[in-house]
Each structure stands twice: as structure tokens, then as C-alpha cells.
A and B are shown apart, each in its own frame.
Chain A
Amino acid sequence: MTLQVLDPSSEADVALGALAPRLTSLEGKTVGFISNGKEGTKGFFHHAETILREQFGVAEVLLRVKSNYSAPADDYIAAEIPEWDVVISGLGD
């Protein structure tokens, strides 16, 4: 006898955010870093900033650190994002 059983997954059609159009160059651009604030992020973002400035001509790098590394970015950080050309989000694990 065939059993009919129900799908336990969410099946929810929730719109996810889409990636922004890719830039052709980082020259003169503003890059925002969103760090989760863990110990491992410090060296990573410092090194990433050096590379972006020296090798890609990035004009400005802004570092923002979440107040809670297990929660989404704070509202004030999210509100700043439209002013940036690029966002890099990083975890310190």
C-alpha cells in the first residue's frame, strides 16, 4: 500500500537578497568592512585593507564591528551600507 506523507521542509518562497552588480574596478572606491568582532578578524581585516589600498587603489576603507557577533549587523551599520561601493563581511572563527 502506498503511503502518502507530507513534506516537512519550510517550502517557503522567501525572497533573499541579491548580490549587487560587480564592479569593474576598485580604483577610488569606498570599501566597508563588517566584522563580527572576534579575535581572528583583526589580522584579517588589517591585511585585507593593506591589499585593497596598495594593490587595488581603494580610496577609503571603513571598518565597522558588530556589537553582537552572533546577531545580524546593527541597524546603524546597515544604514551606512548604501554610502559604500563594496561591502566585505567577515567572521573571526
Chain B
Amino acid sequence: MQLSSKIHEAGDFNAVQELYHSHGWTDGLPIVPPTAEAVAACLEWSMLPPDQLIGLEPVRERPITAEKLAINAVMAGCLPMHFPVVVAAVTAMLQPEFLLHGATASTGGCAVLLVLNGPIRLELNTNPTFNVLGSSDRATMVIGRALRLILINMLEVRPGEIDRSTLGHPGKISFCLAEDEDDSNWLSLAEQQDIPKELSAVTVMAAGAPRQIMNEWTTEPEEILETFAAEIRANMRHYSIWPGNYAIIIAKQLRDHLDAAGWSKKDVAQRIFERARIHRREWADVGKGAVVRDRGDTVYPAMESPDQLLIIAAGGPAGGFGAVIPPWLGHKSHAVTLPIGACLDCGPPPTL
């Protein structure tokens, strides 16, 4: 396989680390040396030629080639079997509605949340249960990290360069999870986007840090969901009032209560949509009175419609916990779901 990237030479493994750190090519953690053999293995697994154009970065029109994606994926620790997920995720991030440049450059400091659905979750031995938002398994850890290294190295999304985040959050190291489809009666996130269950899929969302909730003292769906809605309302007061894609993660214990009561994801989304809204005047309660102006009585919903809520079944079996993952900034960026290694309703391939 003919690769075209510049070749660097280093004396040993440690020298590779120093070489890459010194160029600003890492996230601060050690990387796997991207040898030609390892990169070619990723490309061969995905049946992609090195110069395959995955897409163009929409603002600066940077070509995103398969070879460069593979180099960064190897560095992040990806095995060849992980690489198709990386390709699909980057393809999703390049869709105009994701607003990649804004989401990665903004002072708001969001990360790219990546959710896996379909058979690939099992093929990659993901763990959608214990510690799902932490280091739950190898596959989600390295795939999430690959996206960050790709942003850093291919689009200069480094702190202080393109990345102007005031704070950022730990999800910017890796922010990937699989949905627990095998222990859920609900439609998966991908199925809700009309992707057949037999296909694997990725969903990307420009996402703030997760906000954990707890309610172990009821089995009533309305009460459980009120806790989630309250956390969303808190985000609207303390961070941003604008509506957009929120994600909620519902762990097994609370999911069982909802399921036992016959609530589907659609029912959950409708309830949250109705309850997650605030008056603009509430800003005055949290020190933002200056921007209430004459619109204090205006009601702002957290989502423009119930289907903007991404509901993810995941988390360990015990504990009445869940999480709210807020959008970067309202509807400026939209979550995107794409199948992995398949094309539904394909348009022509991008050209340089």
C-alpha cells in the first residue's frame, strides 16, 4: 500500500513520544507509534485506499483523507476493527449541520459525544454498563480519543489555536459510549433515526459535560423524569437558554421503572419536552438579570421538538442515576447519525 505522509525517524519508543509531543501532535498522553504497517492495516480493514477523500472541512476546506485518519486512529490506540467507526464519526462531523468549526473553536468548550449503536457494539466488545461515561472499555476509549487527535492534528484544534475553549471539559479527551441495546426494550438511538437494527451506526453531538442526577425514591415515571427535566432547566438558567439537542442517559434501575410503566422513548421525550422549559425572567434569579430585558414572561423550551432529545439507555445495573448532557449552544449544531460502512440514500462522493 502506497502511503504519502511524511516519514519521521526516531531512535526508539520513547523518542517517538518526545518527537510527537514536541510537535504538538498529542493530547498529552503517550501515543502508539503510527508505523506504515499499522496504518495500512486500518485502511485494509476498512477497504479504503489511502487517498480516499472522506470529506472536506466545511469552513477551511481542508481535505480529510483516510490515510490521515488512520494515522491518528493508530496513535489513539485503535485497532483496525475500530477504524470504520472513526471514519463514520468523522463523516458525520463533516456534515454542515454539525457546524464542526464553530463547535470545535468556540469558547464554550464542548466535546464531541459519540454514541455507538448496532452490531458493532458487540463486535468491538464495548461495555455500555458499568462506568459508561468513564473508562468503560477499550473500544470506546480509543475511538473517542481518535476523534480528538484528528481534530488536533488535521484541523489544528489545539488549545489556543483553533480551540478557543475557555474551560473545556474532560470529555475532550474521549467521549464515546455504546448504547445498552441488549438490556433495553426501547428503540435504539439509531433506530429512532430510521437506521435498521441490523446496521451499526454512530451519532455525534457537540456536547457539554455530563450532569449526573439521582432519584432512588420513586418508581413513578413522571417523578423520575422531573429530576431530569429539573437538571435541564438548571442548565438553561446557569448556562444557555437556547433550545437544541439535549442527550439524557438513563441507567438500568430508572429505565426498568419507566419500562414497567409502559413508557417508550417517545413517551419519555414528550414528557421531558413538556417539563424542560423556563421563563426568561428566571435568569434574574441566577445573576443574569441584565439580559432579561422586556421578555421576562417569554417561555423557552429546552428543545424545539421532542425528537431533539437523544435518549440513551446505558449505565450500570444498580443505582437510580442518570445524566443530562447539554448541547454546546442550542440549535447551532445538530446531532448527526450515520450508518457505519453502509450508505443510506447516498449522494455522489465528495470531490476535491
Q: Which residues of A contact B (CB under 8 A)?
A: 1-12, 14, 39, 68, 70-72, 93
Instruction: Please measure, in the bound complex, the distance between the C-alpha atom of A93 and the C-alpha atom of B165, giving whole angstroms.
Output: 11
Please, which residue of chain B has its CB at the minimum distance from the CB of A7? Answer: B6
Please, which residue of chain B has its CB at the minimum distance from the CB of A15? Answer: B61
**Which chain B residues border A72 with CB–CB below 8 Å?**
59, 101
Q: How far is the CB of B90 from chain A (nearest CB, A)?
A: 13
| B29 lies within 8 A of chain A by Cβ | no
Q: Mark B178-192, 1 if CB is under 8 A from A, else 0.
A: 000000000000000
**Which chain B residues border A71 with CB–CB below 8 Å?**
59, 99, 101-102, 332
**Which chain B residues border A2 with CB–CB below 8 Å?**
9-11
Q: Which residues of B contact A (CB under 8 A)?
A: 3, 5-13, 15-16, 19-20, 23, 25, 33-36, 39, 59-63, 68, 71-72, 75, 99, 101-103, 105-107, 149, 153-155, 164, 291, 329, 332-333
Please, which residue of chain A has its CB at the minimum distance from the CB of B3? Answer: A6
Instruction: Please measure, in the bound complex, the distance between the C-alpha atom of A72 and the C-alpha atom of B101, giving whole angstroms.
Output: 9
Instruction: Please measure, in the bound complex, the distance between the C-alpha atom of A5 and the C-alpha atom of B16, giving whole angstroms.
Output: 8
Instruction: Please measure, in the bound complex, the distance between the C-alpha atom of A1 and the C-alpha atom of B153, giving whole angstroms.
Output: 26
Q: How far is the CB of B246 from chain A (nearest CB, A)?
A: 18
Instruction: Please measure, in the bound complex, the distance between the C-alpha atom of A39 and the C-alpha atom of B293, giving whole angstroms.
Output: 13
Known: A1-B12, A3-B15, A4-B36. A68 touches B7 (CB 8 A): no
Please state if A5 and B8 are interface contacts (CB–CB under 8 Å): yes
**Which chain A residues border B75 with CB–CB below 8 Å?**
8
Can you pick out 24 interface pairs between chain A and chain B where the beta carbons lie within 8 Å of each other?
A: A4-B36, A5-B7, A5-B16, A5-B20, A5-B33, A5-B34, A6-B8, A6-B39, A7-B5, A8-B71, A8-B75, A9-B25, A9-B154, A10-B154, A11-B68, A14-B60, A68-B99, A70-B99, A70-B101, A70-B102, A70-B105, A70-B333, A71-B59, A72-B59
Q: How far is the CB of A62 from chain B (nearest CB, A)?
A: 24
Q: How far is the CB of B225 from chain A (nearest CB, A)?
A: 31
Known: A11-B6, A70-B332, A71-B102. A6 touches B11 (CB 8 A): no
Known: A6-B35, A8-B68. A93 touches B5 (CB 8 A): no
Please state if B25 and A3 are interface contacts (CB–CB under 8 Å): no
**Which chain A residues border B11 with CB–CB below 8 Å?**
2-3
Instruction: Please measure, in the bound complex, the distance between the C-alpha atom of A6 and the C-alpha atom of B20, giving whole angstroms.
Output: 10
Q: How far is the CB of B14 from chain A (nearest CB, A)?
A: 10
Please, which residue of chain A has its CB at the minimum distance from the CB of B15? Answer: A3
Please state if A7 and B8 are interface contacts (CB–CB under 8 Å): yes
Please state if B68 and A3 are interface contacts (CB–CB under 8 Å): no
**Which chain B residues border A6 with CB–CB below 8 Å?**
3, 5-8, 34-36, 39, 71
Instruction: Please measure, in the bound complex, the distance between the C-alpha atom of A6 and the C-alpha atom of B16, giving whole angstroms.
Output: 10
Instruction: Please measure, in the bound complex, the distance between the C-alpha atom of A9 and the C-alpha atom of B16, giving whole angstroms.
Output: 15
The 8 closest A-B CB pairs, nearest first, are A70-B102, A7-B6, A8-B153, A6-B5, A10-B154, A8-B71, A7-B5, A6-B34
Given A2-B10, A3-B15, A70-B105, 10 more pairs with CB closer than 8 A = A3-B13, A5-B35, A6-B6, A6-B39, A8-B5, A8-B71, A9-B25, A10-B68, A12-B62, A70-B106
Please state if B7 and A4 are interface contacts (CB–CB under 8 Å): yes
Instruction: Please measure, in the bound complex, the distance between the C-alpha atom of A4 and the C-alpha atom of B35, giving whole angstroms.
Output: 6
